[in-house]
A and B are shown apart, each in its own frame.
Chain A
Amino acid sequence: EAGVAQSPRYKIIEKRQSVAFWCNPISGHATLYWYQQILGQGPKLLIQFQNNGVVDDSQLPKDRFSAERLKGVDSTLKIQPAKLEDSAVYLCASSLRGADNEQFFGPGTRLTVL
């Protein structure tokens, strides 16, 4: 079974630039998550989708972050404009159903904002 795919794996940008990350979940998984993991901390949920609807985006900084999951499969996370404090690993995960199910994680995208 193919795992969760993410691209790019690494990205370096300057502050105020824009960046987008892509995620392809495990086939058949209804729920998709984006997490932000700052160095030395645990992953923090940014947004959770159930199919193509948003379930929880309470911790998403909506003035600069946006995410979509068209057709209930792939998802993109965008930051515009980026700030220095956005430097982190962005993890995508998926699960068959909700957050009390086992989540399968992608390899992450390491973002460095200079």
Chain B
Amino acid sequence: AQRVTQPEKLLSVFKGAPVELKCNYSYSGSPELFWYVQYSRQRLQLLLRHISRESIKGFTADLNKGETSFHLKKPFAQEEDSAMYYCAFSGSRLTFGEGTQLTVNP
């Protein structure tokens, strides 16, 4: 069965600190992996996808097939990064994790 696990529902860091949002998946095939973000009062939107290997807003995510993980990282968090982050993967359908609410404190 397709499954995405985000172990932390809430994550709080201070501005300028590194941040890592964890994501693990279970799927027998080769999925396409995504991070979606929802800022306060805004729509859910794509942050990045592993196939593009881009850094968006300073965030990166590396696919580790051995550990079946796709953790999202940023070396220096900013207050505007405060949002709900969802890890998702596309197997037969797009499957979302339960999300991590990131709060970056001043």
Residues of A in contact with B (beta carbons under 8 Å apart):
3-4, 33, 40-45, 48, 56, 91, 93, 99-100, 102-108
B17 at the interface (CB under 8 A from A): no
Q: How many residues of B contact A (CB 8 A)?
A: 19
Q: Give the contacting residue for B43; candidates A3, A44, A45; CB below 8 A.
A: A3
The 0/1 profile, CB within 8 Å of A marked 1, for residues 16-52 of chain B is 0000000000000000100000000001111001000
Do A42 and B96 touch across chains, with their CB atoms under 8 A apart? yes
Do B94 and A99 touch across chains, with their CB atoms under 8 A apart? yes
**Secondary structure at chain B's binding surface: helix, strand, loop or mixed?**
strand
What residues on A are CB-neighbors of B64 within 8 Å?
Answer: none
Do A103 and B94 touch across chains, with their CB atoms under 8 A apart? yes
What residues on B are CB-neighbors of A44 within 8 Å?
Answer: 96
Residues of B in contact with A (beta carbons under 8 Å apart):
4, 9, 32, 43-46, 49, 86, 88, 90, 92-99
What residues on A are CB-neighbors of B88 within 8 Å?
Answer: 42
Do A102 and B49 touch across chains, with their CB atoms under 8 A apart? yes
What residues on A are CB-neighbors of B90 within 8 Å?
Answer: 99-100
| Contacts A102-B49, A103-B46, A105-B43 known; 15 new A-B pairs at CB < 8 A | A3-B43, A40-B98, A42-B88, A42-B97, A43-B44, A43-B86, A43-B96, A45-B95, A48-B93, A93-B44, A99-B92, A103-B94, A105-B44, A105-B45, A107-B43
Considering only CB atoms, which chain B residue lies closest to A45 in the complex? B93
Docked Cα-Cα span, A43 to B97, in Å, equals: 8
Q: Give the contacting residue for A42; candidates B32, B49, B86, B93; CB below 8 A.
A: B86
Considering only CB atoms, which chain A residue lies closest to B44 in the complex? A105
